[in-house]
Structure 1
Amino acid sequence: MDNSQPVPTKTQELRAFFFLTVVAAPILAVAIVGGYGFFVWMYQLFTGSLPTG
């Protein structure tokens, strides 16, 4: 049974690194901050108050 995985090349690793740092991380950061902002907005809409903290 052959369980060997193909070894990624340096070009593939650099491409994956740049995708993660230039595309995925900023999108994830915006989604998290935007999601939190949406949560606070909905909280204020339903309770009529500001969260403390």
Structure 2
Amino acid sequence: MQRTEERTEDKREKRRELLVFLFLAGILFPILAVLVVSGYGFLVWIFQIFTGPPGPPG
């Protein structure tokens, strides 16, 4: 009886791990990547508003 309970718990744990992995890989990390890149672009944009574009003065 105890072995069947262990197998059921193992299956539940593996399913939970798979769902967590799919959430991280398919939803959370792509959103974080977009936010990081967008945030960096925003910082560069703000920096250039105050300092001007890069390159030698025209």
Q: Could you tell me which of 21, 25, 35 is aligned with 1:21?
A: 25
1:49 Cα deviation after fit: 2.4
1:46 and 2:46 matched: no
1:50 Cα deviation after fit: 2.2
Gaps of 5+ in 2: 1-9
Q: Residues of 2 paired with 1:26 and 1:46: CA distance?
A: 31
Give the structure with the higher percent helix. Answer: 2
Calculate the aligned-residue CA RMSD, in Å: 1.9
Q: Which amino acid aligns with 1:23?
A: I
Higher relative contact order (CA 8 A, sep 6+): 1
TM-score by length of 2: 0.69
Q: Residues of 1 paired with 2:45 and 2:54: CA distance?
A: 9
Q: Residues of 1 paired with 2:42 and 2:14: CA distance?
A: 40
**Same amino acid, percent of matched pairs:** 49
TM-score by length of 1: 0.75
Q: How many aligned positions are there?
A: 45
